[in-house]
Amino acid sequence: MIIDLIVFIPVIAALAIGLGAEGRKTALGAAGANLILGLIVISELMRKGGEELIFETSTVILENPKLTLGFAVDGMSGVLLLLTVIVTFCAVYVSPEKAPDGKVKLYHIAPLLISAGALGAFCSTDLFFLFAFHELALIPTFLMIGLYGHGRDKLAVAWKITIYLGVGSLILLGGLIALYSNLTSAESATFNIADLTAIAETMQLDQEVQKWIFLPLFLGFGILVSLFPFHSWAAPAYASAPTSIAMLHAGVLKKFGLYGILRVAMPMLPKGFEAWEGLILVLLLGNIIYVGFVTISQKYLDRMLGNSSVMHMGYAFLGIACVNHIGWNGAVLMMFAHGISIALLFALCGSLRERLSTLELSEIGGLASKVPFLAVSFGFAAFASIGLPGFANFASEITILFGAFNGAGEVGNLQKAAILALWGVVISAVYMLRAYRNVFQGDSAQGLTLVRRDSLNKIPIILMIVVLLLTGFFPNLILSMLPS
Amino acid sequence: MPTLNEYLLMGGLLFVIGLCGVMIRSNIIVILMSLEMMLSAANLTLVAFWRFGGGEGLPADSYNAQVMVFFVITVAAAEVAVGLAIIVALFRSRQTVDVEELRSMKG
Amino acid sequence: MTTAFIILLLPLVAAASNLLLLRKKANFSAFVSTFSAAICLVLTFGLIRQDDLNNLGSFNWIKIADLKLDIGIELHGLGLGMILVVTLIGFLVHLFSLGYMREDAGKARYFSGLSLFMFSMTGIVFADNLAMMFIFWELVGVSSYLLIGHWYHKNTAAEAAKKAFLVNRIGDFGFMIGILLIWGSFGSVNFVEIEGSLRNGNGNYDKGLLNWSVFCIFCGAIGKSAQVPLHVWLPDAMEGPTPVSALIHAATMVAAGVFMLTKVLFLIEVAPTAASVIQYVGAITALIAALMATQQNDIKKILAYSTLSQLGYMIMAVGFAGLLSGGEVLGEKASNAGFFHLYTHAFFKALLFLGSGAIIYACHHEQNIWKMGGLIGRMKVTSFTFLIATAALAGIYPLSGFYSKDAIMTIAANKPLLLVIGSFVAFLTAFYMTRLCVVVFFGRARSWSSEEAKEVPLLMLVPLLVLTIGAIFAGQTFAYSWFVPSKDIPHPEGVVLPLILTAIAVAGIIAGFFLYRGRDQEPYPVQVLSRKFYLDEIYIILVRIFQDAVAWVAKQIDRLLIDGLLVRGVARLVTEIGSVLRGMQSGNLQGYAFLFGVGVILVLYIINAAIG
């Protein structure tokens, strides 16, 4: 019941705003309520260990095939639920009272709908709704970029992300249908994920069949996570999106693809993964090394952050490719850590955008003495992002790497990929420190003016930093909820 | 008494004439009339089949064909009414009934 | 909560509270940091007197299946020596900073950074496993970054901080690979457990891989202890406040590489190939850095290159741990020699840096030695301590440096080539330090800043005097026997080696004295040495090629190929197909009717064909 509440509170709040309730306050209230409910769910999960589904509810929609609108959480869903409620709260908190054109309704409805869609997708017990909720969350993203995006080419960007993610979803849908039709028969038709997993385990599809179902599933989910070489939508979209949308999409919604791979593709099609392991390792190195270099050469802060988020997804894929619980738990921790840290970075970038006339790195400089709070928190966020101990990002990266080398007496393909991926920590340090040095340190650039100087929202920024530090010092808080 | 074949030939001729009218003429009223002619051709065929019914795989003692003919006539009447109304409206707005000039659907 | 954990966590608490609560009250935050350092020092003495050093406490950080990463504390003999160095010199540097940074605007930030450093450095010393060591390894990197970049508004400081962090990251890249290889082979990262399975022959490791893992772990030391080829960050790091240079970039953090190698001694012992790489890297660093030191003009840069060169000594000595000598690996003997030098070096090098800090403070932040001169008359105490430290560094009997250099040379005698290099470096050391002292302390004042110099306040003199005592006596048995028995440190047999070494040092001093006496500018400029063998320039070119150019190409590929050809290409294709199909939308009613008819006939035909 509590999960249903969490999923539908944002929807109800969105309806209320649509009917004329005050925009930001209502949204903030809903997000705050969700944050509290989310913490209750997490405390229950920690008590029970997160191995099995709890708070299960279901409403039967079709008897045969069995289609139910049902929600439940286990450890992995719980972690992502926590991520979603935290980021939603912060994203709603940092959005201004009114949209740039003075309108209120859509501006505050969209983040709530994205949040509801993400929550529904992460907590759904049913394959159909897992997909459907995610699609629901995408629509407001497109709208918000097109309507309230930054930059001259916002419409082109909105179209690009629409087409990319639309095609990704289509491929994914094809994969899901193939999976469903191969696993179920007329009598045992069901969309329930747990049932399907059980069927897949007993039935053991042929290697060849698994191989060709796995491919569209992986590509479909992968495109949604900006897997190389389908990544070029991400950076412009995040650079162009309004702050709250960039936070929600990069921080939360993008994790859906990884969640799907871990929830659906890997448990149901283990042999399918084996068949494509080499390709997947190459692609994830593309994410880390190639996109890493692309990130280095970015000239604008917002683009650089967008690319950096693409790059870090490579580590999550590496964790998945470990095919052991160490790597998988590391990947889940990575989703959480990266979600919070990238949301934090976009929030700070948004604050900078409000204050500066440009975000071109060579045009700004020496801001540390002018906006000390931003400088310190950006420092925290940058250090988190490049994986410094004390932050959850480091805990997740080290876990993934240890997962890749678990029991490896020799250096195989996975280990080689992990070693190359490790070079990514150098690359990320290069671009992050370069950006930090350009923006905050050194001389203050000539002719740079601070556009606005009103107080900024410190609470969400401090909240996110605290969460990163807490889970970085005590990663077992998260890891104890995951199976091992 | 004419045979079934002659009726069918007649129906076919009428249909082709109507079809040609629809395809070739550019006055929309003529096109509508040609369309009616094609419906009449179908009616004629239906009645002819009924008249020579039974045998050769066709059911005897059935009024299905006549019922259908009545339906067609009713529909045709309605069609003419609606069609003429549309044509009048069209003429009012465009001052023409020539289909060659009515190309606003071009993509 | 054990004593050791309090020593570990207290500085962290101080750093956090300084950052969060006390930003407005700079003096109070300086007091909090210094006070926490003092408590840590006292607790360290308690820890040294403690009999039982097992079960110092442990905290489970990550646990998944077989992977268990702990924050646990293990202190064997050398660890005790190291923690004393860290807390003692740390405390003295805090004291010195109270004077040196008295009027700095970012004082609270500075002291937070110092406390953070104390926390991280203590963590490295305490670490009972490689993962924990790596964690704190990175954290000292951060605190070093923050402190080098303390004056962030200066472009040079910001660049130096960035450079230090990035170069260290490259070293850490190797270190992490080494840790991962060890984890893959032994299924554990705990020092005791790895050593156990190595002794019992458990674990599925092979010799070649083990050599590689030791080499990779050593890469961490190359970065942190600034060995060739990753030494370039340390001289630049002198952009930080001078007390920081004394603590981090002379006495403790840069020595962490050496300390780490002594912790994985059991691995070096069984990896002879990697061990000889370690020896040569150390020797080359010692040589190159000493050569570069002879031609520098910035007082801190001279000391920085001197530090590099001494670190090279230590690394070389530890590398001998893997050398077979008389059917037995040298093992602990070699690493003890290296650590012994670390221990004595920490005192006299910290003293040299703090002394140079005092000089710089007195000379109104002038760092060029050719603008100083005649300071011995104006700053008596500082000059006296500085000269003592110089003598110790040169290895003059009976100061501490004499004993530790003897120990290292005794070990190096196992390879004649390295002994020769080591002796030559000893000569150069005596030479460049004498050059420094002659130019700075004697002769005439060469600028107003050194004319007006006067002795620094008492608060800054106390640390100097305490360190002087250390620099004199740290080499005596009573000063180190509590953490490593005297017999475990190699001593030269007979008096031949010590005599030769002393003669070399004296020769260096005499040469330096007569060459530089009474000079007002560099009499023998050697471009290639003062420009540091052009290594910085070469590195800049390499970075241009391998990073910026590759990045540029990648960006172009992204823009042209992926975005242009693939994405735009698909879009173009769809548009083209659309425009072909568009031709059918003629807008002609009869055309539509015709197509409709054709369609019906086609459908009928297909159905007919399917049925028939």
For the cut 70, the answer to whether the pLDDT of residue C22 exceeds it is no
Q: Across the interface, do C585 and B100 touch by the CB < 8 Å criterion? A: no
CB contact under 8 A, C170 and A441: no
Neighbour-count burial of C249, counting CB atoms closer than 10 A to its CB (0-12 exposed, 13-18 middle, 19+ buried): buried
Q: What percent of chain A has pLDDT over 70?
A: 98
The pair phi, psi for residue A240, each rounded to 5°, is -95, -25
Pick among C580, C585, C590, C594 to test the B interface (most B CBs inside 10 A): C590
Q: What is the pLDDT of residues B54-71, one digit of tens each?
A: 666 656 667 788 889 999
- Which residues lie below 8 Å from residue C528, measured CB to CB, with a gap of 6+? C534
Question: Cα distance from C357 to chain A (closest Cα, Å)?
Answer: 24
* Cα C109 from chain centroid (whole Å): 21
Q: Using one digit for the tens of pLDDT, what is the confidence trace for C304-360?
A: 999 999 999 999 999 998 887 777 778 788 889 999 999 999 999 999 999 999 999
Check: pTM over 0.90? Answer yes or no.
no
A360 plus A222 within the same structural domain: no
CB contact under 8 A, C184 and A433: no
B100: contact with C, CB 8 A cutoff: yes
Q: Closest to C585 (Cβ–Cβ): which among B24, B102, B107?
A: B107
Q: In this structure, are residues C540 and C167 in contact, taking their beta carbons and an 8 Å threshold?
A: no
A223 and A355, same domain (yes or no): no
Task: Say if residues A165 and A256 touch (Cβ distance below 8 Å).
Answer: no
Query: A247 and A274 share a domain?
Result: no
Chain B, residues 18-77, CB within 8 A of chain C, namely: 19, 22-24, 31
Kindly state whether B107 is in contact with chain C, defined as any CB-CB distance less than 8 angstroms.
yes
C590 contact residues in B (CB cutoff 8 A): 22-24, 31, 99
Residue with tokens 């039982």: C52
Helix, coil or strand: residue C415: coil
Q: Which pLDDT does position A157 carry in this prediction? A: 85
Is the pLDDT assigned to residue A453 strictly greater than 60?
Answer: no
- Residue C564: in which H helix or E strand, if any? none
**d(C-alpha C524, C-alpha C511), whole Å:** 13
- For residues A288-295, average pLDDT: 92
Q: Given an 8 Å threshold on Cβ–Cβ distance, is C551 in contact with A293?
A: yes
**Can you name the residues that pair with A57 across neighbouring β-strands?**
A71
**Is B99's CB within 8 Å of C594's CB?**
no
**C358 to chain A, closest Cα gap in Å:** 27
Task: Name residue C325's beta-bridge partners.
Answer: C328
Report strand pairing: C58-64 vs C67-72.
antiparallel
Total of domains in chain A: 2
For residue C203, the model assigns a pLDDT of 61
- Considering chain C, what is the average pLDDT of its residues? 88
Place of tokens 């290069």: A430
Distance CA C362, CA A167 (A): 70
Alpha helix (H) residue ranges in C366-480: 375-378, 380-394, 400-412, 416-441, 448-451, 458-473, 477-480
Gap from C162 CA to chain A (nearest CA, Å): 6
* Partner-chain residue, chosen from C585, C589, C594, that has the shortest CB–CB distance to B102: C589
Write the DSSP string, A269-285: -HHHHHHHHHHHHHHHH
pLDDT digits (tens, 9 = 90+) for A96-132: 888 777 778 888 999 999 999 999 999 999 999 999 9
Contact (CB<8Å) C67/A430:
no
C247 to chain A, minimum CA–CA distance in Å? 22
Q: What is the DSSP string of C324-355?
A: EETTEE-THHHHHHHHHHHHHHHHHHHHHHHH
Nearest CA in chain C to A389: C135
Kindly report the nearest CA distance between residue A457 and chain C, in angstroms. Answer: 17
Q: Do chains B and C touch (3 or more CB pairs under 8 A)?
A: yes
Q: At what angle do helices C272-293 and C207-224 cross, to 10 degrees?
A: 20
From C176, C209, C551, residue closest to A294, measured CB to CB: C551
What is the per-residue pLDDT for B60?
A: 61
Tell me what the mean pLDDT of segment C14-25 comes to: 80
Please give the distance of CA A353 from its chain centroid, rounded to a whole number: 22
At C374, which helix (H) or strand (E)? none
User: For A286-405, where are the alpha helices, taking DSSP H only?
Assistant: 291-296, 301-321, 325-355, 372-385, 392-404
Tell me the pLDDT band of A306, cut-offs 50, 70 and 90.
Answer: very high
Contact yes or no for C594 and B103 at CB 8 A: no
Report whether C186 contacts A410 (CB < 8 A): no
Residue A362 burial (CB < 10 Å; 0-12/13-18/19+)? exposed
Residue A20: what pLDDT?
82
Q: What is the pLDDT of residue C480?
A: 84
Residue type for C287, please?
Answer: L
> For chain B, which chains pass the contact test of at least 3 CB pairs under 8 Å?
C
Confidence category of residue C107, pLDDT binned at 50, 70, 90: confident
Nearest CA in chain A to C142: A388
A219 shares a domain with A363? no
Beta carbons of C554 and A403 less than 8 Å apart:
no
- Tell whether C589 lies on the interface with B, counting CB pairs under 8 A: yes
Q: Would you say residue A316 has pLDDT above 90?
A: yes
Query: Which of A157, A318, A419, A446 is most worth mutating to test chain C (most C CB atoms within 10 A of its CB)?
Result: A419
A274 shares a domain with A241: no
> Which residues of chain C neighbour B15 with C-beta distances below 8 Å?
none
C575 close contact with B: CB closer than 8 A: no
Angstrom distance (rounded) from CA C50 to CA C47: 5
At which of A268, A295, A320 does a domain end?
A: A268
By percentage, how much of chain B surpasses pLDDT 90?
Answer: 50
- C-beta of residue A116 within 8 angstroms of C-beta of residue A10: yes
Query: What SS3 class is residue C138?
Result: helix
Q: How far apart are the first and last CA of chain B?
A: 53
Partner-chain contact C64 A329, CB within 8 Å: yes
CA angle (C157 as vertex; C156, C160 as ends), nearest 5: 85
Task: Dump the DSSP string for B58-105.
Answer: BPSS--HHHHHHHHHHHHHHHHHHHHHHHHHHHHHHHS--BGGG--TT
The residue type at A303: R
Q: Whole domain around residue A69: which residue ranges?
A: 1-268
| Of the listed ranges A343-352, A447-456, C500-509, the one predicted with least confidence | A447-456
Whether C554 and A297 lie within 8 Å, measured CB to CB = yes
CB-closest option in C62, C155, C552 to A476: C62
CA gap A99, A148 in Å, rounded: 7
Query: Confidence class of residue C453 from pLDDT cuts 50, 70 and 90?
Result: confident
- A296 contacts C547? CB cut-off 8 A: yes
Contact C586 B106 (CB under 8 A): yes
Q: Roughly what angle, to the nearest 10 degrees, separates helices A75-94 and A2-18? A: 20
pLDDT higher than threshold 60 for residue A143: yes
**Touch between chain A and chain B (3+ CB pairs, < 8 Å)?**
no
- Name which of A290, A321, A294 is nearest A307 in CA terms: A294
Together in a domain, A38 and A162: yes
Q: Which chains sit next to A, with 3 or more Cβ pairs under 8 A?
A: C
Distance (Å, whole) CA C472 – CA C389 = 8
Q: In angstroms, rounded to a whole number, what is the distance separating the alpha carbons of residues C593 and C597?
A: 6
Binary contact (C590, B107; C-beta < 8 A): no
Give the CA dihedral C505, C506, C508, C513, nearest 10 degrees: 140
Same-domain pairing of A252 and A379: no
Q: What is the ipTM of this complex?
A: 0.93
CB C269 within 8 A of CB C211: no
Question: How near does any CA of chain C get to the CA of A387, in Å?
Answer: 10
CB atoms within 10 A of CB A134: 24
CA angle C479, C483, C485 (to 5 degrees): 85
In DSSP terms, A71 is beta-bridged to A57, A124
* Residue C467 distance to chain A (closest CA, Å): 33
CB contact under 8 A, B107 and C587: yes
| B23–C582 C-beta distance less than 8 A | no
Among A296, A383, A410, select the one facing C142 at the smallest CB separation.
Answer: A383
Is the domain of A235 the same as that of A319?
Answer: no
Residue A418 C-alpha, separation from nearest chain C C-alpha, in angstroms: 9
- Does residue A37 sit in the same domain as residue A169? yes
As assigned by CATH, the class of the B4-101 domain is: mainly alpha
Q: Is pLDDT at C570 greater than 80 in this prediction? A: no
- Residue C199: pLDDT band (50, 70, 90) is confident
Of the two residues A185 and A143, the one the predictor is more confident about is: A143
Which residues of C are less than 8 Å from B105 in CB distance? 585, 587
- Assess whether A399 and A440 both reside in one domain: yes
Phi, psi (deg, nearest 5) at residue C455 = -55, 145
Average pLDDT estimate for C444-450: 83
Which pLDDT score is estimated for C349? 93
Distance CA A12, CA A20 (A): 12
Q: Does B86 contact chain C (CB < 8 Å)? A: no
Write out chain C residues lying below 8 Å of B31, CB-based: 589-590
Please name every residue paired with A69 in a beta bridge, in sequence order, or none if there are none: A59
The one-character DSSP state at A414 is: H
CA atoms within 13 A on the CB side of C543: 15
Whole-angstrom distance, CA of residue A415 vs CA of residue A401: 9
Residue with tokens 């709603």: A92
How far is C586 from chain A, CA to nearest CA, in Å?
29
- Measured in angstroms, the CA of B33 and the nearest CA of chain C are apart by 15
Q: From the candidates A362, A426, A481, which should be mutated to test the interface with C, based on the most C CB atoms within 10 A?
A: A426
Residue A148 and residue A170 in one domain: yes
Per-residue model confidence as pLDDT tens digits over A174-216: 999 999 988 888 777 888 898 899 988 888 888 888 999 999 9
Whether residues A247 and A279 share a domain: the answer is no
Q: How high does pLDDT run on average in chain A?
A: 89
Residue C64 to residue A407, Cβ atoms within 8 A: no
Please enumerate in sequence order all residues whose Cβ is within 8 A of that of C576, keeping only pairs 6 or more positions apart, or say none: none
**How many Cα atoms occupy the beta-carbon half-sphere of C133 within 13 Å?**
30
State the nearest Cα–Cα gap between A280 and chain C, in angstroms: 18
Q: Judge whether A413 and A278 are in contact, CB under 8 Å.
A: yes
What average pLDDT does the segment A418-446 reach? 88
Query: DSSP H helical segments within A225-288, as ranges?
Result: 234-240, 243-248, 255-260, 266-268, 270-285
Residue in C closest to A443 by C-alpha: C153
